[in-house]
Amino acid sequence: MKKSNRLCLVLGDQLSFDLASLQGLNKNRDTILLVEVMEEASHVPHHPQKIILIFSAMRHFAEALRQQGFQVQYVTLDDPKNSGTVKGELQRWQALTHSDEIHITECGDWRLEHALKDCGLAIQWHPDSRFLCTRTEFSDWAKGKKQLRMEFFYREMRRKSGLLLNGDGSPVGGAWNFDADNRKALPKGVIPPSPARFKPDAITQDVLALVAEHFSSHYGSFDTFDYPVTHADAQALWEYFLDWGLAAFGDYQDAMASDEPFLFHARISAALNIGLLDLRQLCRGVESAYWAHRIPLNAAEGFIRQLIGWREYVRGVYWLKMPDYAGGNLFGNNRPLPAFYWTGNTQMKCMSQAIGQSLKHAYAHHIQRLMVTGNFALLAGITPTQICDWYLAIYMDAFDWVELPNTLGMVMHADGGYLGSKPYCASGQYIKRMSDYCRTCVYKVSESTTDDACPFNSLYWHFLMRHADLLRSNQRLGMVYKNLDRMTEPKQQALWNRGQELLARLDAGESL
Ligand code: FAD
Ligand code: SF4
């Protein structure tokens, strides 16, 4: 009897040797397929460095699999026979290899998974075991709950993983969460480590040339690419962070500083999301550093919370709520994304810093994404799909399952508060407290209604006034509305007028 032969499609964010669909392959009969396709690289104008990372890491991974004795077919972007879509390449290679079984690990993107499920081939799907929580486990946990809370989900994940627990199952340090100890601004004289850099090798140089040829119209720099593209280099990036970044991560997780794009952040999200690093190994590394007294508890707990709390939680929400989730627009926003999001040409120092470094490095850390570029989009009423597409395009770590809930849910509150209990709206005072940006900004953070007043201040109150019908009843905003009500009517009117003026300038296509 003829033995069946498998075709195993590995996507660009599935570059893990222990990927479920790669297990049990026969090195003589089965084929692993990796494809570089135009549709995935351009359905939004992805940052060139993101395309470089994924194509180069795919080529390195294919090479490593070949060295392990697997049969690998690799389709480059400029292959004349390349159909341009994952679905087209899967159909073409199924016919070429006469495979009678197709194996794929579940996708990170609803759009792609849906397209593959619709391609007319019988596919054997494998769960993505690189995550701690399966899609089904999450939906079981969410069942019957009107509103979800990350904090309760996170406790479940701590119990499931056993991370930072005492022998009796209680949390180390007597609390599950040390968030309140993660909010220091950066004091003068504290110097963050210089970022670990990885020089492009010959494979990456080839990809750089390919991307320069095909994607020069996409926004973002090419020549600053210094990111790891192999498992070994990603591990070196992680170890560098363990040695130099993690101890201070806890204190300065929310801090922002001029011309310091990385501070004490790990920069590992892109490597983790495409499979060059392993979630469980990262968590064990952090826990060991804590037990070895190398890092304080607020750093260990804070980092583990991001990984097994927020990261798993947003993925769970994505798969529970897609595809309707992507269309959420609670506030009915319809303002186009201002052009300066693509250039950084704005006088607002905080925005020009966050956007500028995103264009240069395809990176901004969490608080810049949430409280600067995201906060501005929320206050200015930007159309959710447009700001979501911007985040998906601009960040090296952006994949639909993680970008969409963070942007549409956490930042824009467009899902009606399903992911987060209140919008993260803030005035310029928050940015002043957490950064040095305001010191050298042309706008005055102490002013709200004058011509040179910080735009965030009036837009903040304008946002609260124009959505009072939806937000006033939110208990977590009770104090804020009390403050608004205490203002004199002329003060409220002046804030409204300044907000109107700024929004009209955005509508006229002006930068601020
Ligand atoms: P660190 O600050 O060192 O944090 C450690 C790790 O925790 C990260 O590498 C990441 O894997 C994880 N993490 C932390 N917060 C989150 C979160 N909210 N959701 C998921 N993982 C988290 N992260 C992405 O990986 N891809 C995205 O597309 C993405 N889009 C975002 C969009 C917005 C609007 C916001 C507010 C956040 C977004 N995040 C996204 C989360 C977070 O900003 C990045 O994970 C982080 O900045 C990556 O940098 P780092 O590796 O230096 O992280
Ligand atoms: Fe940003 Fe306002 Fe501060 Fe300027 S003054 S950096 S616009 S918060």
Among 222, 262, 226, 193, smallest CA distance to 359 is for 222
The alpha helices in 322-424, defined as continuous H runs, are 349-361, 366-367, 375-380, 384-394, 400-404
Percent of the chain scoring above 90 in pLDDT = 91
Residues with CB under 6 A from ligand 1: 265-269, 272-273, 303, 306-307, 310-311, 314, 365-366, 369-370, 374, 391, 395, 397-398, 402-403, 406-407, 410-411
Measured between alpha carbons, how far is 362 from 357 in angstroms, rounded to an integer? 7
Q: How far, in Å, CA of 449 to CA of 495, rounded?
A: 6
Q: Tell me the one-letter amino acid at 241.
A: F
pLDDT at 77: 98
Strand partners, 453: 444
Give mean pLDDT, residues 348-365: 98
Residue type, 59: R
| Per-residue pLDDT tens over the stretch 135-175 | 999 999 999 988 889 999 999 999 999 999 999 999 999 99
pLDDT at 486: 97
CB atoms within 10 A of CB 136: 10
Between residues 224 and 358, the one the model is more confident about: 358
How far does the centroid of ligand 2 lie from the alpha carbon of residue 373, in Å?
A: 12
SS3 of 297, please?
helix
Q: Enumerate residues 6+ apart whose C-beta is below 8 A from 63.
A: 203
Ligand closest to 373 (CA) is 1
- pLDDT over 70 at 410, yes or no: yes
* Residue 1: per-residue pLDDT: 54
Contact indicator for 97, 72 with CB cutoff of 8 Å: no
**Tens digit of each residue's pLDDT (9 = 90 or more) over 360-385:** 999 999 999 999 999 999 999 999 99
Query: Could you please report the per-residue DSSP string of 419-477?
Result: SSSS-----HHHHHHH-SGGGG-SSBTT-SSSTTB-HHHHHHHHHHHHTHHHHTT-GGG
Q: Which ligand is nearest to the CA of 459?
A: 2
- Taking the C-alpha atoms of residue 377 and residue 374, their distance in angstroms, rounded to an integer, is 5
Tell me the C-alpha distance between 307 and 335, whole Å.
33
181 — pLDDT class (breaks 50, 70, 90): low
* Count of alpha carbons within 13 angstroms of residue 350, beta-carbon side: 32
Q: What average pLDDT does range 281-306 have in this prediction?
A: 94
pLDDT at residue 182, rounded to an integer: 67
Q: Residue 427 pLDDT > 80, yes or no?
A: yes
**pLDDT of amino acid 3:** 66
DSSP codes of every residue in 140-194? HHHTT-SS--HHHHHHHHHHHHTTTB-TTSPBGGG-S--GGGS-PPPPTT--PPP
Contact 275, 128 (CB under 8 A): no
Q: Mutual orientation of helices 312-321 and 150-161 as an angle, nearest 10°?
A: 120
Looking at all shown ligands, the one closest to residue 349's CA atom is 2
pLDDT tens readout for residues 296-347: 998 899 999 999 999 999 999 999 999 999 999 999 999 999 999 999 999 9
422: its two tokens: 């209140």
Q: How many A from CA of 263 to the centre of ligand 1?
A: 14
Q: Which of 79-83, 298-302, 343-347, 398-402 has the lowest mean pLDDT?
A: 298-302
Q: Residue whose CA is closest, atom 19 of ligand 1?
A: 311
- Ligand 1 pocket mutation pick from 269, 312, 411, 425 by most atoms within 8 angstroms of CB: 269
Average of pLDDT values for 31-35? 97
Give which of 409, 403, 323 is closest to 111, Cα–Cα. Answer: 323
In whole angstroms, give the CA distance from residue 450 to residue 444: 9
Average pLDDT, the chain: 95
